[in-house]
DNA sequence: CTGAAAGCGCTTACAG
DNA sequence: CTGAAAGCGCTTACAG
């Protein structure tokens, strides 16, 4: 493979001149620049990434630390990755993907060995064991997901509290007095998925404040369990006229369940979910929903990370915690409750 | 950050000795080795990846070239990535993930700049424009997906022809005389998804040889279109007693469609699909199916790639094309056809 | 068993 | 406007 030395020799100049001609970091005569460029082109010269990194201490790589959890929802996961990947590409960075189940050690190795200029953490838990490592690393970090302690990192997430409020307020305004909320399984909370109770608590508080009855339940993350559970919940609360879903598996199962119970939305039951629009589209979920916006969150995290990387190490402003405001996309699955006598 | 020089100084030895003591690539007295190790531990020494790469010309990185196509099925995609990721981790490699839509240029940059020791290509097309680049790269390559020309690379895929045959034979043996096959959308073929017609042609041939009528159709890759199409197909072929699915969206939509038509499997209709077991599980698809085995294919590709990388450049055996034999997982959705008079 | 030196391929002050 | 040199942090022949 051609090196900068080969290019310099072919162009009849010094290696430094070849380097400058290619990078444009100091002025070079038009003629020399042309000769160097031609030589580079003809030799098919591409700079060696390792050598450049060693010389500049810039890797132009962003590390993406993901966790492939068994009950993590695959379509959402892939969209986070896509968002990160797309915006890294735009900014000129490559992605180093790590899904080592033992996250802290993997992260430490990556940051210590200087394989990346910055780190994006996915599936962030309330008490995330990767955070202490990230805070003491020299590289900046951006998270998708809100941890208990946000110091030293930039954080991006959906405002799940607002989502919980918005769901309840929407149905309350339509006149519903009794609702059911189906959340992710309880073990998602146990491993630190704070978004589950953030949404649920806000929904419960809002319901209480408005005198709305809200039955909060945890649902399974896979079929057919979740289907059975939905049946049982609808049976147990015959007076409920609205259903809130913070559980993708439940959203996927609901059309069948409603069909089996001969219910239709919104005539018999109003339904509001929380999942990605992409998921809604590919499964044609007919329910109004709050967009989980995984692609957008991935993008935001990378954008901010790149800003930090490129302003480093001085002009780094205060760290941000950006919770995006839920938007309820109306798919017509909510309406005033049916009359019951 | 501590360098090997810092470690050497702290241990009172030369840098070379420190390096050898840590790598074990030449014998070092027990006492010196202990001193060096302790110094490394106390200083929190981790070798600089770029420097090591420059010195050894080994990156310990595998490039993963994916394509995020709009109608690519997300759960399958993520599982390929997981398979690759898991086995890379086991082998001690990191993953450089590229999803640049302009694949050939991205691949060329990655291989030319020596960012990886080997390359895995996902979503391989019949005529894949990344293949010429990969063949002329110095790094070995492994593909998931069967291209028209397999020279110079190792190839892994499901045996889609055998899958098509197996599906038809299975239903023929049960006594079915008229079947419907729903494939992926036609534009998947157009962009090079050869597996669509590989399965379809084999199914058609097998059916013809056995005197079975097979109606082959392309289906949409998303709802609600595919649902409508399934209805139309079942309507158009009232004599069909078996349904073959090579289309994940169709598999996801079918339970609802059958419900709507008051059909049940296998009493009214025998159904066989082809998708990943993981997908079947998370959506509880009640149909017997041939496992697409994305995780396993990803693993196989990496395993072989690592073998090539580590035997390079001499002892590289002939390239392999490994088509894994479809396994029909019986979920009880097939039976002899109902009597029709 | 250990050390001093060269070299991997870049970039970037330092000189002219 | 250009060149010769140093240095990034490793590894690995070459000497002893």
- Contact: B224, A260; criterion CB under 8 Å: no
The Cα A282–Cα B186 span in angstroms is 18
Footprint of strand C, using CB within 7 A? A 1-5, 15-16, 19-20, 22-23, 25, 45-48, 51-52, 54-56; B 12-17, 20, 26-29, 31-32, 51, 54-55, 57
Q: A312-321, B58-67, B111-120, B238-247 — which is least confidently predicted? A: A312-321
* pLDDT above 80 (res A7): yes
Residue B110 has pLDDT above 80, yes or no: yes
- Which nucleotide across the nucleic acid strands is nearest to B54, CA versus C1'? C8
Q: Please give the Cα distance from A200 to A179 (Å, whole number).
A: 12
My answer on whether A204 and A335 are in the same domain is: yes
Residue B340's pLDDT is: 54
Which of A:209-238 have CB within 8 Å of B?
A: 221-224, 227
Chain A: residue nearest B74 by CA? Answer: A75
Q: Which nucleotides of chain D have an atom under 7 angstroms from any protein CB? A: 1-13
- On whether both B164 and B198 belong to a single domain, the answer is yes
Does residue B104 surpass a pLDDT of 80? Answer: yes
At residue B98 the predicted structure's pLDDT band, cuts being 50, 70 and 90, is very high
B271 touches chain A (CB under 8 A): no
List the A48 CA – C10 C1' distance (angstroms): 7
Measured between alpha carbons, how far is B319 from B310 in angstroms, rounded to an integer?
A: 15
What pLDDT is stored for residue B341 in this prediction? 40
* A5 CA → D5 C1’, Å: 15
CB B290 within 8 A of CB B163: yes
What's the Cα-to-Cα distance from A78 to each of A100, A255, B68, B82, B124, rounded to whole Å?
17, 24, 9, 11, 19
Per-residue pLDDT tens digits for B226-278: 999 999 999 999 999 999 999 998 998 898 899 889 999 999 999 999 999 88
Q: What is the CATH number of the domain that holds A42?
A: 1.10.260.40
Dihedral sign from CA coordinates of A139, A141, A147, A148 = positive
Residue among A205, A130, A220, A118 at smallest CA distance from A160: A205
What nucleotide is nearest A14 when CA is compared to C1'?
Answer: D3
Dihedral (CA of A71, A76, A82, A85) sign: negative
Radius of gyration of chain B (CA): 26
Query: What tokens appear for B102 in the block?
Result: 């302009």
All residues of chain A having their beta carbon less than 8 Å from the beta carbon of residue B252 are 283
**Considering only alpha carbons, which residue of chain B is nearest residue A82?**
B68
Which nucleotide's C1' is closest to B19 (Cα)? D11
Q: How many helices (H) and strands (E) does chain B have?
A: 14, 12
What are residue A225's phi and psi, to 5 degrees?
A: -50, -50
User: Are both A168 and A266 inside the same structural domain?
Assistant: yes
Asked if residue A295 has pLDDT above 90, the reply is: yes
User: Per the structure, how many domains does chain B have?
Assistant: 3
- Report d(CA B109, CA A71) in Å as an integer: 36
Residues A259, A152, single domain; the answer is no
Q: Which residues of chain B are within 8 Å of residue A59 when distances are taken between CB atoms? A: 50
| 3-class DSSP assignment, residue A119 | strand
Query: Which DSSP category does A120 fall into?
Result: E
How far does the CA of B16 sit from the C1' of C2, in Å? 9
| Contact map slice: A 35-64 vs B, CB within 8 A | 44, 46-51, 53-54, 59, 61, 64
Q: Kindly state whether residues A191 and A84 are assigned to the same domain.
A: no
Instruction: State how far the Cα of B36 lies from the Cα of B22, in Å rounded to an integer.
Output: 7
A89 touches chain B (CB under 8 A): yes
For residue B307, what are the domain limits? 61-158+293-324
Question: A340 and A239 in contact (C-beta within 8 Å)?
Answer: yes
Task: Select from A282, A299, A302 the residue whose CB has the most chain B CBs within 10 Å, as the one to mutate to test that interface.
Answer: A282
* C-alpha radius of gyration, chain A, whole number: 26
> In which residue are the tokens 């009794």 written?
A178
Q: Is the pLDDT of residue A312 over 60?
A: no
**3-state SS, residue A182:** strand
Alpha carbon distance B74, B79 (integer Å)? 9
SS3 label, residue A293: coil
Q: What distance separates the 2 farthest-apart alpha carbons in chain B? A: 94
Residues in chain B with CB shorter than 8 Å from the CB of A231 are: none
Residue nearest to nucleotide D2 (CA to C1'): A17
Residue A340 pLDDT greater than 80, yes or no: no
Do B280 and B298 lie in a common domain? no
pLDDT tens-digit readout, A52-106: 999 999 999 999 999 988 777 777 889 999 999 999 999 999 999 999 888 899 9
Q: Judge whether A320 is closer than 8 Å to chain B, CB to CB.
A: no
Q: Do B207 and B334 fall within a single domain?
A: yes
The answer on A120 and A247 residing in a single domain is: no
The whole-angstrom separation of Cα B121 and Cα B63 is 8
What's the sign of the alpha-carbon dihedral A193, A196, A197, A202? positive
Domain of B187, CATH number, reads 3.40.50.2300
pLDDT, tens digit, 9 for 90 and up, residues B6-52: 999 999 999 999 999 999 998 889 999 999 999 999 999 999 999 99
pTM of the full structure: 0.93
Is A100 found in the same domain as A86? yes
Decide if B320 touches A, using CB distance below 8 A. no
Minimum-distance CB partner of B50 among A54, A99, A249: A54
For residue B136, what are the CA distances in angstroms to B60, B111, B112?
20, 10, 10
How far is residue B250 from each of residues A280, B195, B245, B257, measured CA to CA in Å? 16, 17, 7, 10
**Contact across the interface for B112 and A1, Cβ inside 8 Å:** yes
Q: Do B223 and A78 touch (CB under 8 A)?
A: no
- Taking the C-alpha atoms of residue B204 and residue B196, their distance in angstroms, rounded to an integer, is 12
Same domain, yes or no: A187 and A307: no
Looking at the fold, whether A121 and A89 belong to one and the same domain comes out as yes
Residues A173 and A145 occupy one common structural domain: no
Structure-token pair, residue B138:
């110095």
Beta bridge partners of B245: B182, B273
pLDDT (mean) for B274-288: 85
pLDDT range class, residue B155, cuts 50, 70, 90 = very high
Average pLDDT, chain A: 92
């Amino acid at each position: 493979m051609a090196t900068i030395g080969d290019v310099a020799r072919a162009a009849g100049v010094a290696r430094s001149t070849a380097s400058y001609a290619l990078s444009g970091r100091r002025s070079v005569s038009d003629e020399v620049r042309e000769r160097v460029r031609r030589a580079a082109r003809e030799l098919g010269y591409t700079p060696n990434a390792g050598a450049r990194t060693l010389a500049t201490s810039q890797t132009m790589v962003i590390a993406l630390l993901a966790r492939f959890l068994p009950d993590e929802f695959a379509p959402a996961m892939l969209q986070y990755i896509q968002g990160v990947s797309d915006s890294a590409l735009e900014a000129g960075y490559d992605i180093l993907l790590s899904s080592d189940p033992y996250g802290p050690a993997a992260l430490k190795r990556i940051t210590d060995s200087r394989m990346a200029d910055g780190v994006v953490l996915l599936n962030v838990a309330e008490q995330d064991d990767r955070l202490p490592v990230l805070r003491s690393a020299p590289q900046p970090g951006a998270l998708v997901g809100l941890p208990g302690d946000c110091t030293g990192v930039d954080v991006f997430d959906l405002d799940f509290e607002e989502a919980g409020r918005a769901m309840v307020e929407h149905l309350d305004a339509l006149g519903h007095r009794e609702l059911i909320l189906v959340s992710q399984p309880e073990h998602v909370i146990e491993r630190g998925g704070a978004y589950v109770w953030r949404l649920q608590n806000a929904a419960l508080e809002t319901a209480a404040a408005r005198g709305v009855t809200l039955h909060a339940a945890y649902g399974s993350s896979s079929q057919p369990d979740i289907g059975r559970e939905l049946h049982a919940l609808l049976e147990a609360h015959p007076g409920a006229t609205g259903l809130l879903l913070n559980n993708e598996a439940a959203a996927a199962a609901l059309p069948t369940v409603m069909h089996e119970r001969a219910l239709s939305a919104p005539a018999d039951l109003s339904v509001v979910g929380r999942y990605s629009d992409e998921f809604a589209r590919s499964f044609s979920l007919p329910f109004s929903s709050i967009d989980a916006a995984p692609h957008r969150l991935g993008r935001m995290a990378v954008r901010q990370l790149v800003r930090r990387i490129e302003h480093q190490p001085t002009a780094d402003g205060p760290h941000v915690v950006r919770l995006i405001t839920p938007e309820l996309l109306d798919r017509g699955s909510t309406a005033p409750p049916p009359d019951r006598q």
